[in-house]
Structure 1
Amino acid sequence: MRMLSGLLKKFVRNGRMRLYDAGGTLHEFGSGENGPTVTVRLHDAALHRKLALNPELVAAEAYMDGTLTFEDGSSVHDFLTLFSVNRSGLASAGSQKLLRRAWRGLKRWQQANPLGVAAKNVRHHYDLSTDLYRLFLDEGLNYSCAYFRDPEKDTLEEAQVAKLVHIAAKLRLEPGMTVAEIGSGWGSLAIQLARCGAQVTAINVSPEQLKISRQRVEEAGVADRVTFFERDYRELDGKFDRVVSVGMMEHVGVRHFDEYFGKVRDLLTDDGFAMIHAIGRMTPPGTTGPFIRKYIFPGGYVPALSEVFASLERVGLWAADNEILRLHYYYTIRHWRERFAANRDKAIELYDERFCRMWEFYLSAVELGFLHGSNMVFQLLLSRERDAVPIIRDFIVDDERAMLTPAPKSAAKRQPKVKPKTATRTAPKSPRARKKAE
């Protein structure tokens, strides 16, 4: 217990941890200020040493196994909140510095995602029962950051629709344009883009998601404008007016960034552009936490912007626009965690208690990573040519408002099912577009 006490004295600077060791002795750490008070009980003496050596992974596994429990009204979310507000204290401990150094040394090996392995890693998470995801996602099964205009008033459904519209507005679509979607989830974005008049080629390596996606585009009446393929992004060929990728880059791995952005570049027409939506970090390059890496997203990695832009420089793509969404994912995952908690009994019927504890730990950990950690979301517009994207970004707001504003009832009958969007009138033409018009 001496090793663990030494670590916790350095670690818990905000809030308070009340820890009952395996022998029943109570230890207290922290001042109780600027953080929650959490009561923890250990049921296995082996945890005294294991937690001191690798707390991030062992605490999660002990909670999953039931050998670490909470008392006095404390919860796993309280525990992880205490961890998140003391993150710097843990990083400063000598044993943890050595552990992180080892993780950095293994980083490229841990994120190796060659063909075949990449699909296996993705299926580990996304081929779980869709009924599980229905317990906590919105009706459209959007498993990525939503877009909140008012976090206290917007429902999850409203925020996810706003995200789809925000992305479609950035793509500046016109009827008949071709779009490649890399990593198509359960099909909500493909449906949105098809409703804007685009012909969408969407790829995914999850058979479970593809099955549901094909059903959904049929139900939405856009099956003639969306084609799904079970395919790795490296196996997609052709030329497209637009390329879009949402929540996919996190699965690429740092060794494959050039391969990924090189494929995006090769898929674009000369005057086309891409929209990349992904989780990033505002800190220097790091590693994936051991719990997330082992149990949730094997092969996954949240990149630093320095790694992203260095890769863009190497493959020769213009970064025409970058928007940083700082707290939107925090609000999104808060909804997910609360919905999962409300449907926990149904989740146990689908899986078991250990799985539910793992999922609770995962949702709380990632939610707090966006509240107290370094995580955020970035949305990049990328192009082969400097003038493929309008030189001012007003077109995004103009198109977004046009899509969110209902048409007047008197004009509804006169409007075609897919109408040209206002961006073509309000955004200034690029030099290339003017030359073509002449």
Structure 2
Amino acid sequence: MTLEKNPTPQQSQGVPELEPVRRGPRTAVSAAVARRLFHAAVNRLAVTVHEGPSGSRGGRTLGQGGPSMTLHRPEEFYARLGRDGLIGFGESYMTGAWEADDLAGFLTVPAARMATLIPEPLQRLRAFVTPRLPGHHRSTEANSQANISHHYDLSNDLFQLFLDETLSYSSALFDTSQVPVGAGPGSVGDHLVATPPEPADDPDPRLHGPDLAEAQGRKIERLLDEAGVTDGTSVLEIGTGWGELAIRAARRGARVRSITLSVEQLELAEQRIAAAGFADRCDVELMDYRALGADGRTYDAVLSVEMIEAVGAEFWGTYFRTIDQVLAPGGRVAIQAITMPHDRMLATRDGETWINKYIFPGGFLPSVEVIDQITRDETGLRLTGQLEMGSHYAETLRRWDRRFLAQRDAVLALGFDDVFLRVWHFYLAYSQAGFASGYINVSQLTFTREDQ
């Protein structure tokens, strides 16, 4: 699919307003610095960057060879990069100032070297130049529903265009071996790594093969196993999604309470649960996790799939203390969490990113180490198992992106525009690159009580 290369920088449905390039001495100086840093970084990478106006014969080629990027409007690119860093990098893609035939492939190369691309003396200035997370994006009780709604209430029809039939919007677990690894930084308890899956495509890019739905089911069933969900188990799910985990838990004979802050997800989840015949076993409520515990109810199993990313660093302790409070004696906790290395988490904490601004307001990724530390310091929970599966998320995202691009006309028919298409293609490819490079990871984490 070819996306429009120069969409007008204006308000787009589902996308915050994109500012035009600012002019003046500060922009000129920051653009010149960005150009030098970008050239120095690219020339150390296995990529190819074509710099020059579209169709120009006087451009230059940078890099050591590899996935290619074309700067159609270099002046705009360096102005945005200089003024707004990685946010500007993403915004210049949104306007079509640059293009890449294999966007995820190109982004994977710098993602693997992210911590060393900028000289260390300049990295120390990060806190002074990186935008801070806006106050209205902090994941407080007052802000959280708006943050969630920004993404998850865009349109159920939109998500159905690129997700598989289970409507699972989280990493799948493909049928591969799981290899135990030795103890080391970031590994706690029984530590397994899922070997990478083989990439596979359905002949029709608008479709997903049955193996993706099977892999999503495998992910959920493993979490239910880890949490000990069987006939008669009382289950709490924090973050409903579109109801697939609740359906599968109810199918085992469990009684499920699921909470969400997405109005659209709640509506469709209830419909799917009822259609599956489990309306009498599942209750879905619009509720912030911080309101749990007020009624004194406890649960044998607490599950949460890729919800901790929206909690915000300042509320991680609240999140785990709440889980500890509502977990019944002898209960188990299983969560799926996107994580980043501890040193990168510390270096980027409290800053705003392109993903925050355009996709997930208030989101921030924890490290496995900080999860272990918080649960040890503030709760009776203990991390007893970990399955890393980052390569499986890279493959999941590759398939979502492929299908999303193939559904261009259907996305436009929902009222979205070319700016939105570019934003979401960049988001999916950027995320795929993060997992493919190992810059970010995803794990299933199991917790039990200290005295069990």
One-letter amino acid of the counterpart of residue 244, structure 1: L
Contact 1:11 1:87 in 2 (8 A): no
Contact 2:80 2:91 in 1 (8 A): no
Shift of residue 50, structure 1, vs aligned partner: 2.8
1:17 and 2:81 correspond: no
Shift of residue 31, structure 1, vs aligned partner: 2.0
Task: From the superposition, tell whether residues 86 and 37 of structure 1 become closer, same or farther in structure 2 (CA, over 3 Å).
Answer: farther
Aligned partner of residue 202 in structure 1, secondary structure: strand
- Of 274, 298, 314, the residue aligned with 1:255 is 314
Q: Which residue of 2 aligns with 1:409?
A: none
1:276 and 2:335 correspond: yes
Shift of residue 219, structure 1, vs aligned partner: 0.4
Contact 2:390 2:438 in 1 (8 A): no
- Of 349, 374, 379, the residue aligned with 2:439 is 374
Alpha-carbon distance in 2 for matches of 1:85, 1:315 = 34
Contact 1:205 1:231 in 2 (8 A): yes
Task: From the superposition, tell whether residues 5 and 173 of structure 1 become closer, same or farther in structure 2 (CA, over 3 Å).
Answer: closer
Alpha-carbon distance in 1 for matches of 2:123, 2:110 = 14
Number of residue-to-residue matches in the alignment: 380
Alpha-carbon distance in 1 for matches of 2:417, 2:135 = 32
Q: Which residue of 1 aligns with 2:61?
A: 28
- Of 374, 377, 392, the residue aligned with 1:314 is 377
Structure 1 residues 134-153: aligned runs within 5 Å: 134-150=160-176, 151-152=197-198
Alpha-carbon distance in 2 for matches of 1:374, 1:363 = 15
CA offsets, 1:237-280, max 9 Å, x none?
Answer: 31111111111101101100110000000001111111121111
- Of 129, 148, 151, the residue aligned with 1:125 is 151
CA RMSD between the two structures: 2.4
Shift of residue 89, structure 1, vs aligned partner: 4.8
Contact 1:137 1:143 in 2 (8 A): yes
Q: Which runs of 5+ in 2 are unaligned?
A: 1-30, 177-196, 201-209
Task: From the superposition, tell whether residues 385 and 283 of structure 1 become closer, same or farther in structure 2 (CA, over 3 Å).
Answer: closer
Alpha-carbon distance in 2 for matches of 1:299, 1:224 = 35
Q: Which runs of 5+ in 1 are unaligned?
A: 388-438
Alpha-carbon distance in 2 for matches of 1:19, 1:147 = 40
Alpha-carbon distance in 1 for matches of 2:330, 2:134 = 34
Contact 2:257 2:284 in 1 (8 A): yes
Alpha-carbon distance in 1 for matches of 2:84, 2:230 = 53
Q: Which residue of 2 aligns with 1:303?
A: 366
Aligned partner of residue 91 in structure 1, secondary structure: coil
Q: Which residue of 1 aligns with 2:213?
A: 157
1:363 and 2:428 correspond: yes
Alpha-carbon distance in 1 for matches of 2:108, 2:83 = 21
Task: From the superposition, tell whether residues 103 and 111 of structure 1 become closer, same or farther in structure 2 (CA, over 3 Å).
Answer: farther
Aligned partner of residue 54 in structure 1, secondary structure: helix
- Of 236, 241, 251, the residue aligned with 1:195 is 251
Aligned partner of residue 269 in structure 1, secondary structure: strand
Shift of residue 6, structure 1, vs aligned partner: 0.9
Q: Which residue of 1 aligns with 2:305?
A: 246
Alpha-carbon distance in 1 for matches of 2:352, 2:102 = 21
When normalised by structure 1's length, the TM-score is: 0.81
Considering Cα pairs closer than 8 Å and 6+ residues apart, tell me whether 1 or 2 has the greater RCO: 2
Aligned partner of residue 139 in structure 1, secondary structure: coil
1:52 and 2:82 correspond: yes
Larger-gyration structure (1/2): 1
% same residue: 34
Alpha-carbon distance in 2 for matches of 1:27, 1:2 = 16
More helix by share: 1
1:335 and 2:420 correspond: no
When normalised by structure 2's length, the TM-score is: 0.78
